[in-house]
C-alpha cells in the first residue's frame, strides 16, 4: 500500500479511536511498517487531530527521516517489530478498561484474561502482562522484547495495552477486542460466570489460530 494512503489511514483510525473515547489527550500511538522503516505518530500529538503530512517517518534504525519528532513510546513498537517478523502495524492505547485491568492484583502474567468470549481468544489470544517500569525506561523495552515473540498482545502493568498485527486493521481490531474483553472482565467481577471450557478454547485455537 502506498505511503500517502497509510498516512491517511493512521489519521482516520486515530480520529476514530479518539472520538470513541479509546484515546484521550496525547495518549496512544500507532505505527505502520514500510519497506525501509516505519511511520509513527508524533510525540505529544492528539490521536483525534493527526495531520497525515506530519506523521513521523523513521528509518530501519529508528532515526527520524521526516515529519515531527516520533512518540517517546516508539521503542515499544520497535520491540514488537524486532521480535515478530510478521508485524505490519502496532497500536498502543491507554484505554480505560484495559488500564484498569492492568492495575489489578493477582493476574496471570502469561494469560491475563479468563476465557470469556471466542473473539477474545481468536483476536487477542494469550495476553501477557509486562511488569511496571516508568514510561521511557529502557527496561520496559527489554521486558516487552522478552514476551513479544510469544504474544502479539501485551499489557503493560499500570499503563496499557500494546498490540501487533499483520496490518493496521488487524492491529486495531485486536486492540479494540482487548479493550472490550477488559470491560467484560470488570463487568463480570463478582458475578458467578460460566467461562469457556479448556476443550472449547482448544477447539478455537486449532480452528482459527494462524
**Which residues carry out catalysis?**
73, 119
CA angle 111–89–155, rounded 5-degree value: 25
Contact assessment for residue 71 and residue 91, using Cβ atoms and an 8 Å cutoff: no
Q: Which H/E stretch holds residue 40?
A: strand 37-40
Torsion of CA 41, 45, 51, 52, to 10 degrees: 0
Spatial CB neighbours of 1, under 8 Å, sequence gap ≥ 6? none
Alpha-carbon distances of 143 from 131, 134, 137, rounded to whole Å: 7, 12, 10
State how beta strands 153-156 and 128-130 pair: parallel
The rounded distance, in Å, linking the Cα atoms of 145 and 187 is: 31
Amino acid at each position: 500500500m502506498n505511503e500517502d494512503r497509510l498516512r491517511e489511514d493512521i489519521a482516520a483510525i486515530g480520529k476514530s479511536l479518539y472520538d470513541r473515547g479509546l484515546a484521550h489527550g496525547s495518549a496512544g500511538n500507532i505505527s505502520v511498517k514500510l519497506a525501509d522503516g516505519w511511520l509513527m505518530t508524533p510525540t505529544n500529538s492528539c490521536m483525534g487531530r493527526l495531520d497525515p503530512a506530519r506523521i513521523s517517518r523513521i528509518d530501519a534504525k529508528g532515526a527520524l527521516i521526516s515529519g515531527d519528532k516520533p512518540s517517546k513510546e516508539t521503542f515499544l513498537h520497535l520491540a514488537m517489530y524486532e521480535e515478530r517478523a510478521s508485524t505490519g502495524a502496532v497500536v498502543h492505547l491507554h484505554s480505560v478498561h484495559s488500564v484498569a485491568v492492568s492495575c489489578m492484583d493477582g493476574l496471570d502474567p502469561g494469560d491475563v484474561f479468563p476465557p470469556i468470549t471466542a473473539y477474545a481468544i481468536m483476536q487477542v489470544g494469550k495476553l501477557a502482562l509486562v511488569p511496571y517500569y516508568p514510561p521511557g525506561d529502557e527496561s520496559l523495552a527489554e521486558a516487552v522484547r522478552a514476551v513479544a515473540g510469544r504474544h502479539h498482545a501485551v499489557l503493560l502493568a499500570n499503563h496499557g495495552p500494546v498490540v501487533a498485527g499483520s496490518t493496521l486493521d488487524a492491529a486495531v481490531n485486536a486492540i479494540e477486542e482487548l479493550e472490550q474483553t477488559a470491560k467484560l472482565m470488570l463487568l463480570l467481577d463478582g458475578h458467578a460466570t460460566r467461562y469457556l471450557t479448556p476443550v472449547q478454547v482448544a477447539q478455537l485455537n486449532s480452528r482459527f489460530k494462524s
